[in-house]
Amino acid sequence: MSLKHFFPIIFFLLTVAFLFSTCDSGIENSPAPGIVRVTLESDPSDTVIIIVTDTLTVSDDDIFWVSIFQGRVFRDDTYGILYPRLESTRQEERFYNIILRQGGQYQRFTIFESHLPPQSYNKIEFGVDSRFLKLKNFDRIDVITPDNYFIKLPADFEIKSNRVTEVNIRVKPFKSVTRFRDSYIFQPEMEIYNVNYF
């Protein structure tokens, strides 16, 4: 085949390649997800509770055992599921000593960390259940949380592609406990006090 017969073939192939390179499929690439990290710590000003007739101040060895579960973040009626860790494949109930102290300061816990689509969100929701309170020389005190107790916190934060959004929540551990007859009831007072972007 002579060289002049190759020119139409080469021209055709170059034209097809150009058309494919400039073609718009109408499908845009999805943005990379961001990470939301939700932390929980006790309010540093809430350190005193009255048990029977004794006024007790929290110490480093005290325990207030609480579980956290079924986290979600909302944008109006749509939501994303929160997992305990980035590598988690299912939601799990996890337990925390919310009055754990080191050096006289309450510790902060990461209760959720998940990949989610980048957009703005306006609510965080998760379940809470309490187990018991153990202070100083007192015997273990059972603390009851009402059944199906879900925290619903109004929020205003954004998840950005390939970045971390950290939402910090505070709980008042002792102000949330009330005595009813012979029982202690935990109805957690919580608030979002800070949002950081990394």
Over residues 42-67, the pLDDT tens digits come to 999 999 998 888 889 999 889 999 99
The pLDDT, as a whole number, for residue 158 is: 97
Residue 43: which residues within 8 A CB-CB, separation 6 or more?
Answer: 106, 170, 171, 172, 173
Distance CA 4, CA 9 (A): 10
- Is 98:40 a contact under the CB 8 Å cutoff? yes
pTM for the structure as a whole: 0.84
Distance CA 15, CA 21 (A): 10
Q: What is the pLDDT of residues 86-138, one digit of tens each?
A: 999 999 999 999 999 988 899 999 999 999 999 999 999 999 999 999 998 78
Backbone angles phi, psi at 5, to 5 degrees: -80, -20
| Tokens standing for residue 180 | 């009813």
Q: What is the pLDDT of residues 7-22, one digit of tens each?
A: 555 555 555 555 555 4
